[in-house]
């Protein structure tokens, strides 16, 4: 099963993806994690991405599309993967469609974890405090930027996948366990 997890920053995509890895035996492919690894490793891509990530913008499409194209070729993706944080805009979604068709892979579902902006801001403020500044993109000001980028660039993917009949909406304001249950129900439906 190949899935996309969509939702604003702080919606709990990473947490739910980890649970789905454990429950469904899928691989989690987080472009955010991969980019942070590149930053930590000090690669050219990492150096280029860091400034962009720190200001809450999206890194160039060709970088993330290239990362995902290489990653889904790996043998551990054969049993299925969860795309967490990719695609982030229509150009990436279209590139993904082409990539999947070329590799003869199907996209089984797109799960939207839906959360109100107000709740997100309080969640992210908590996360920024916990991380003690480890994630320099996690402060409230940058969050507002990231939310604006989500509404402006990523939210148009919702009608895009709705039109493909693949979109399933889950209430992300429930408890973590309840959201996991909703996801299971949505995938079985
Ligand atoms: P995330 O951990 O998914 O919230 O991603 C953290 C940051 O990495 C984002 O704010 C972007 O700067 C960058 N990023 C992650 N995924 C993508 C993507 N698919 N396209 C562009 N930028 C991305």
Spell out the residues 6+ positions from residue 41 whose beta carbon is closer than 8 angstroms to its own.
none
Report which protein residue has its CA nearest ligand 1's atom 23.
58
Q: If you average pLDDT over each of 111-120, 128-137, 164-173, which comes out highest?
A: 164-173
- DSSP state, residue 56: T
Give the distance (Å) from ligand 1 centre to CA of residue 170.
21
> End-to-end distance of the chain based on CA atoms, in angstroms?
14
Please say if 13 is a catalytic residue: yes
State the CB neighbour count (10 A cutoff) for residue 156: 12
Question: What pLDDT, on a 0 to 100 scale, did the predictor assign at position 134?
Answer: 61
Beta strands of the chain (E only): which ranges? Answer: 3-6, 27-30, 81-84, 109-114, 167-171
Question: What pLDDT, on a 0 to 100 scale, did the predictor assign at position 133?
Answer: 61
Pair of tokens at residue 71: 């990653």
Q: What is the mean pLDDT of residues 150-169?
A: 98
Rounded to 10 deg, the angle between the 61-71 and 31-41 helix axes is: 100
Share of the chain above pLDDT 90, in %: 83
Instruction: Please write the tens of the pLDDT for every residue from 54-94.
Output: 999 999 999 999 999 999 999 999 999 999 999 999 999 99
State the CB neighbour count (10 A cutoff) for residue 115: 21
pLDDT of 137 higher than 80: no
pLDDT of 27 higher than 90: yes
64 lines ligand 1 (CB under 6 A): yes
Check if the beta carbon of residue 61 is closer than 8 Å to that of residue 104: no
Pair of tokens at residue 147: 């939310």
Q: What is the mean pLDDT of residues 28-41?
A: 97
Of 19, 36, 50, 146, the catalytic one is: 146
Pair of tokens at residue 167: 């979109």
Give the distance (Å) from ligand 1 centre to CA of residue 85.
6
pLDDT band at 135 (very low <50, low <70, confident <90, very high): low
Q: Which atom of ligand 1 is nearest to the CA of 84?
A: 3
Degrees, nearest 5: CA angle 134-150-1: 90
pLDDT band at 51 (very low <50, low <70, confident <90, very high): very high
Of 135, 145, 166, 184, the catalytic one is: 135
């Amino acid at each position: 099963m190949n899935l996309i997890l969509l939702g604003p920053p702080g919606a709990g995509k990473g947490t739910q993806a980890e649970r789905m890895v454990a429950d469904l035996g899928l691989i989690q492919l987080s472009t955010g994690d991969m980019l942070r690894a590149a930053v930590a490793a000090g690669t050219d891509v990492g150096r280029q991405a860091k400034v962009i990530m720190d200001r809450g913008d999206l890194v160039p499409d060709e970088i993330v599309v290239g990362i995902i194209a290489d990653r889904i070729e790996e043998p551990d993706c054969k049993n299925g993967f969860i795309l967490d944080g990719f695609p982030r805009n229509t150009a990436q979604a279209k590139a993904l469609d082409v990539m999947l068709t070329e590799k003869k892979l199907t996209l089984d579902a797109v799960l939207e974890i839906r959360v109100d902006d107000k709740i997100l801001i309080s969640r992210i403020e908590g996360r920024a405090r916990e991380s003690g500044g480890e994630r320099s993109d996690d402060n409230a000001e940058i969050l507002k930027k990231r939310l604006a980028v989500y509404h402006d660039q990523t939210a148009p993917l919702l009608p895009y996948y709705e039109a493909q009949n693949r979109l399933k909406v889950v209430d992300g304001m429930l408890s973590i366990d309840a959201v996991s249950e909703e996801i299971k129900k949505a995938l079985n439906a």
